[in-house]
Structures are given as structure tokens and as C-alpha cells.
Amino acid sequence: MKNEFKILSTTAILGYGFPLESFEAGLAKKPDLIAADAGSTDPGPYYLGSGLSFTDRNAVKRDLKLMLQAGLKHKIPVIIGTAGGSGAEPHLNWCFEIVKEIAAEEKLTFRTALIHAEIDRKTVLAQWEQGNVVPLDPAPPLTEAAINASEHIVGQMGVEPFIEALDLNCELILAGRAYDPSVFAAMPIKLGYDRGLALHLGKILECAAICASPGSGSDCMFGTLAEDWFELQALSPARKCTTVSVAAHTLYEKSNPYLLPGPGGMLDLRACQFSDMGEGRIRVTGSKFVPSAQNTIKLEGARRVGFRTVSIAGTRDPIMIREIDNIIAGVKERVADNYKSENWDYQLNFIVYGRDGVMGKLEPTPDTSQVHELGIIIEAVAETQELSETVCATARSTMLHYGYPGRIATAGNLAFPFSPSDFHAGAVYEFSVYHLLQTDDPLKFFKIETVSLPAA
């Protein structure tokens, strides 16, 4: 193990972009690894279920090209995790097609290790029947129906598949769904660095410059790992890491600020200290990894639940604003009465912006007495696109002319910013699997293959 291991994290998610100046400043520091996380469940289940990426192809290609060219030129491994945004087979293939396109256009020659993360339904079902799949709170117990209805199911790999792939001497590792810190932590862990420090550093680097002040997911971050500490340093002169910004990002998206569960164990951060070393370098010590008694792999799956149509409207009538709850209830009742003989299975939802459109039932201040206008989204979800269009159109036209106490104008209650007013949003998905697979082998469900480019 050498004295320090240096990591260049290019962007919070591959395709979010980064300034070329920051990237070149990072390369000047001679990193041992160039890496980026490429996905998230934050955009919801649609992308996993549909097999599509939530990041733009041209943007991903731009980021990848710069990273690959620099990695090959300077002989630095490039690692990408959760390819294509969700990391299932179509996402991994989508991202690899971009890689092949770059290799052909730029006349690059290199070897790629592909780590597959999609687990077929039969395998998940067999593990569930053996009692090896348990809920991840607050998910309900898994069912055979939920498994069979899932379009794609992925396992979130830890560092072990990356370490295995690193032994194959490939210039690029492109992985399916991965525990975000693994992308950055696997290589130093393989070289003998402390697992707790490496994973904690990876947990911060996965979001790149978001840990700086001001933060940005579209800028680079530099990490340095030593035997008993790690440091973070921004690469843009417009940003600076501080003890507060780095400590705050350690708390980012955590249910517990001190204990961070992940594949194979938990990060214990209760003894962490954050020190300002000057020149924007923040040093972190005290991170510990506590292995779990039972190794687990988080499973994520999505199933289609119908098709969506949306209508967007607004009102600034103070009387309608006052009566909005009664109007929504009345519209829902009218639509249900219209189609009660059809026995349709549908959902009709109203999202009211200006009152509680962001927080919904959790909104602490839903009072509309001081509001002068509301934005209203009418959403209909049904088993076919045609039925969702019918339900949405009926709700929209009913609300447009709905009579309510004190109503003065009769020309229409709603203002529509667009024509046509209804948008056909297509398939709707929900998470069907969000559970833990118990296994003693962290490599078992992740197939690794190597491909030389250009292909022979």
C-alpha cells in the first residue's frame, strides 16, 4: 500500500456534466482513479421499470468521452457504477453502446469489464421461497405476485464485484446497479486501505462537488485517502470545502447521522472528526466499518401499474380557492358517478400547488387564506392509456364548469397554460421490490464479463 490514494470524482451523476477546467485541475493532481456514479432511485421507479435512462444520451457521451480519453492517456482506471441510471440490463447495454460509439469515433483501444446487476425473476423467487429475502423497512413482505409482476429486478452490489473486476486488468469497469460508495472505495480497499475510511470517502465523492460551498452536482471533487485519514478538496476556484460543508454532506440522505448501513456491514461515524487543513482541504478521521453478521444485497424492482394522463391548470378566484377541497371532492364524485356502470379500475388525483403540492398531507401550513392563486394538476391513472385519457378529460371538464357556493363567473373556473390541455404521459410504474437478499457470497449474483474494443 502506498502512502496516499487519489481519486477524481467527475460529477454527481454521469451526464450531469463538469467544467473542463475542474477536470484538468484534477488530472494535474495525478489521480489513481477516475470514477463516477451514474444513477439513483431518486427519479422514481419509472426508469427501472421501463428500462430507460433518466440522463440524456448526449450528455452521458460527453462526460464518458472525456473520462475515457484521460484515463487511457494517463493510464488511470475509469470506473462507472449504476450505468444508465438504474443499472438493469437495458441500462447497462445502453451505456455500453455509448462506450463502443466513443471507442469507434475516437479510435480508442481498451478492455472493458461489464458487471451485470439484473437478477432474473426465477432466481429471486427461488431465494424468496427459501426465506432469504426480507423486507427493508418500511417495505411490506415480498410476495410471489410482486416478483412476477416486476419488469426488472436489480441487486445493489458492494465492493467485491469491483475488486474482482479490477483483477482482470481492464481500463474501464462499467457496472450495473451498485452501492454508490463502492465505485470509489473498491480499488483502495483492494490495495489495503481502511474499509471504513474508503467507504466514507466514497459516500461523499459519489455526489462530487455537492460537498463544497457553494455545492454543485455538476462539478468535480478530489479525494485523497491515507492510512488513517482522508481529505476532500474542490477543484473549481468558485468552490471551497469547509468543515461544515463536508460534515453536512456526511448527513446527506441519512435516516441516522452516525450509522450508515450498506452491503456487508455498517459505517460507524460516531468518532468522526473534521479538520480544516488549509487551502480548502478538509481532513476526516475516525470512520469505522462494522461488518454485519449476515451479508445482504438490496434488491430493487419495479412493475407497471397503468397509464397516466395529466392536465395542468390554475385558478386565482378567491372564492374557488376557499372552496377548493369541496370542489375536488365534488369532481371526484361526479366522475365516479359517470362511470360507475363501467367498473373501471382507475386513480384520480389532484395536486394543488400553492397550498400543499410539494408536501401533500405532510404540509405544516396548508392555509390558503393568504394565497391569491393555485396551480392544479389533475392526474388520472388507469389500466390503459385510453381509459386514463377519458377519466382525466372528464375530471378536467367537470372542474372547469363546476358550480360552487358564491361562484360569480360562469365562463370557466380554470386557466390552462397549454393547448392541448391534457398530456398523455404513458406507462406508470411503482417499486414492487425493495427488500434485502441474504447471502454469504457477495459475488454470487453479479456476472462479470470482459470485452475488448474495438471488437474483432
Q: Which tens digits make up the pLDDT trace of 38-55? A: 999 999 999 999 999 999
Q: Are residues 71 and 208 in the same domain?
A: yes
Q: Reply yes or no on whether the pLDDT at 1 is more than 70.
A: no
Residue 151 domain-assigned (yes or no)? no
Measured CA distances, 39 to 55, 80, 302 (Å)? 8, 10, 15
Q: What is the pLDDT of residue 18?
A: 98
Using one digit for the tens of pLDDT, what is the confidence trace for 238-280?
Answer: 999 999 999 999 887 778 889 999 999 999 999 999 999 999 9
Residue 128 domain-assigned (yes or no)? no
Residue 146 domain-assigned (yes or no)? no
Helix, strand, coil distribution of the chain in percent, nearest 5: 30, 30, 40
Which residue range is the domain that position 180 belongs to? 5-117+157-295+439-453
Mean per-residue pLDDT, 228-240: 97
Q: Are residues 354 and 214 in the same domain?
A: no
C-alpha cell at 420: 392541448
Q: Reply yes or no on whether the pLDDT at 370 is more than 80.
A: yes
Comparing C-alpha atoms, which of 213, 233, 236 is closest to residue 224? 233
Using one digit for the tens of pLDDT, what is the confidence trace for 431-446?
Answer: 999 999 999 999 999 9
C-alpha cell at 288: 469505522
β-pair type (346-353, 374-382)? antiparallel
Q: Compute the distance between CA of residue 106 and CA of residue 103 in angstroms, rounded to an integer.
A: 5
Mean per-residue pLDDT, 132-154: 95
Q: Are residues 61 and 192 in the same domain?
A: yes
CA dihedral 452, 190, 435, 125 (to 10 degrees): 50
Residue 284 domain-assigned (yes or no)? yes
Q: Are residues 366 and 400 in the same domain?
A: yes
Structural domain count of the chain: 2
Confidence class of residue 456 from pLDDT cuts 50, 70 and 90?
Answer: low
β-pair type (33-37, 5-9)? parallel
Of 67-71, 126-130, 134-138, 396-400, the range with the lowest mean pLDDT is 134-138
Mean per-residue pLDDT, 82-89: 98
Residue 131 domain-assigned (yes or no)? no
Classify residue 2 as exposed, middle or buried by CB count within 10 Å of its CB (0-12, 13-18, 19+).
exposed
Q: Are residues 51 and 165 in the same domain?
A: yes
Q: Compute the distance between CA of residue 346 and CA of residue 321 in angstroms, rounded to an integer.
A: 26
* Residues 6 or more apart in contact with residue 339 via CB below 8 angstroms: 390, 391, 394
Confidence class of residue 17 from pLDDT cuts 50, 70 and 90?
Answer: very high
Q: What is the pLDDT of residue 439?
A: 96
Confidence class of residue 183 from pLDDT cuts 50, 70 and 90?
Answer: very high
Q: Are residues 383 and 289 in the same domain?
A: no
Q: Are residues 165 and 32 in the same domain?
A: yes
Annotate 55-106 with DSSP letters as a single string.
S-HHHHHHHHHHHHHHHHHHT--EEEESGGGT-SHHHHHHHHHHHHHHHHHH
Q: Are residues 313 and 249 in the same domain?
A: no
Q: Reply yes or no on whether the pLDDT at 336 is more than 60.
A: yes
Residue 135 domain-assigned (yes or no)? no
Ramachandran region, residue 280 (left: φ > 0; alpha: ψ -120 to 50; beta: rest) = left
Q: Are residues 321 and 358 in the same domain?
A: yes
SS (H, E, C) 2-44: CCCEEEEECCCCCCCCCCHHHHHHHHHCCCCEEEEECCCCCCC
Q: What is the pLDDT of residue 350?
A: 98
Of 168-177, 251-260, 338-347, the range with the lowest mean pLDDT is 251-260
Confidence class of residue 2 from pLDDT cuts 50, 70 and 90?
Answer: low
Q: What is the CATH number of the domain that holds 338?
A: 3.30.70
Mean per-residue pLDDT, 408-434: 94
Query: Element (H or E) spanning 331, and its range?
Result: helix 324-338
Residue 141 domain-assigned (yes or no)? no
Average pLDDT, the chain: 95
Q: Are residues 402 and 334 in the same domain?
A: yes
**pTM above the 0.95 mark?**
no
Q: What is the pLDDT of residue 254?
A: 78
Q: Are residues 267 and 384 in the same domain?
A: no
Confidence class of residue 101 from pLDDT cuts 50, 70 and 90?
Answer: very high
Residue 74 domain-assigned (yes or no)? yes
Q: Are residues 315 and 258 in the same domain?
A: no
CB 276, CB 246: distance < 8 Å: no
C-alpha cell at 20: 473542463
